[in-house]
Structure 1
Amino acid sequence: MATIPEPKLIDRLLSVMENDIVPLTREGVAKGNKVFGAAILRKSDFSLVIAGTNNEIENPLWHGEVHTMKLLYEMAPEDRPAPADCIFFATHEPCTLCLSAITWGGYDNFYFLFSHEDSRDSFNIPHDLKILKEVFTLEPGGYNRENVYWVSSGLMAGIEAAPEVERAGFLARVDALNKTYAEMSEVYQANKTATEIPLN
């Protein structure tokens, strides 16, 4: 059973998304990139190590999660905590490329806000579920969310389990993020044919 995030962690991950990832994503989307972003935090105190966003216009492999790891490894080694000491956060449930990158990167966990279904239905980016089905013959939700490499969890599971007072505040913030990402998605969708991203 996947770990359900506690309210303190949910609050912190939403703050990182609101204050650190969204500004980067706005800039990226304006250049033609998708809306996906990520961040790496220390487990010990939830401090931010690095935040990043999609950069597929430079390289189609620079998905939000992969590009964030790339930026991490451009930092000085002494500033980079070990993956085992980190929380990995993705704004959207990672695709198969990013699931593999998180695994190869040595992270034993990841959290996300928007699901694969959200990516398909709300953001008109169906590739995650399509690749799971076509390449791996998996239905939505068919991969192991807890395995020998990592445990994953959607923030919404923790929000739904949170005490009512905290839950209401979290849901309001998620609603605001939904609106922000819908706006960014409209910009991306309006301009995506002008880029060389293979799976746009």
Structure 2
Amino acid sequence: MGELRPGQMGPPNPTLVARLLDVIERDVIPLTQAGVSRGNKIFGAAMLRKSDLSLVHAATNGETSNPLFHGEVACINEYYALVAADPSKRVDPADVIFLATHEPCTLCSSAITWAGHDNFYYFFSHEDSRDAFQIGHDLNILKQVFKHEPGGYARANAYFTAFSLQDMIRACDAHERAALSARADGIRAKYMELSEAYQSTKELDVCRNIPLK
């Protein structure tokens, strides 16, 4: 894949999708496994350089410490803590691909925007969060607070463009689609295991500081 210039995400392509799946599998899921064992939700995030798709930082949900530490917010917060300790680690947000395992909620899409990122990619949709993982707050907030029907927000706007990895996989040719779909199925199965673990612990005392479970 050629270099992606800042602000130029280019068309969906299997090389980019494969790399984003790599990051979910190798970098985010291990963090999420540890986070779920502490009572946190299954949502994680990562930042990559557009230029070479190298990992900048990966993180997972930390709501047992602070209810604002959704995966995306935790990723941004931890990244800036690293930059504060070592300014050489700073990456221009215009040169960052922002990856979320689940479609960002209103808090997280706002955080991504305020952090200066012009994009985010997500694996699971809001509907998946509600239907497969029994966490429907994202869609409820959109409807109750912003008066949008479920899922009703502009995925392409003046601040960011949102990309569904599932849609990107479907856009690939048949051979590439089959290989990527098989990997996606494996990721989906792993998150179902993590979801069962989270659902079994969310009523425990360790989760008492999470208002919206």
TM-score range, shorter chain: over 0.9
- Residue identity in the other structure for 2:170: E
The alignment covers a number of residue pairs equal to: 199
Alignment match, 1:134: 144
Alignment match, 2:178: 168
Matched, 1:14 2:27: no
Alignment match, 2:40: 33
User: Shift in Å at residue 141 of structure 1?
Assistant: 2.5
- Residue identity in the other structure for 1:100: S
Q: Is the 8 A contact 1:4 1:158 kept in 2?
A: no
**What CA distance in whole angstroms lies between the structure 1 residues aligned with 2:73 and 2:148?**
22
- Residue identity in the other structure for 2:69: W
Q: Is the 8 A contact 1:42 1:49 kept in 2?
A: yes
User: Shift in Å at residue 5 of structure 1?
Assistant: 2.5
User: Shift in Å at residue 190 of structure 1?
Assistant: 0.6
**What CA distance in whole angstroms lies between the structure 2 residues aligned with 1:91 and 1:5?**
17
Q: Note the alpha carbon deviations across 1:140-161, whole angstroms, 9 max, x for none.
A: 2311101111111100111001
SS of alignment partner, residue 81 of structure 2: coil
Matched, 1:110 2:120: yes
Matched, 1:198 2:207: no
Alignment RMSD, CA only?
Answer: 1.1
Alignment match, 1:60: 67
User: Shift in Å at residue 163 of structure 1?
Assistant: 1.2
Alignment match, 1:124: 134
User: Shift in Å at residue 15 of structure 1?
Assistant: 0.2
Q: TM-score, normalised by structure 1?
A: 0.97
Alignment match, 1:91: 101
Matched, 1:187 2:187: no
Runs of 4 or more off by more than 6 Å in structure 1? none
Structure 1 gap segments, 5+ residues each: none
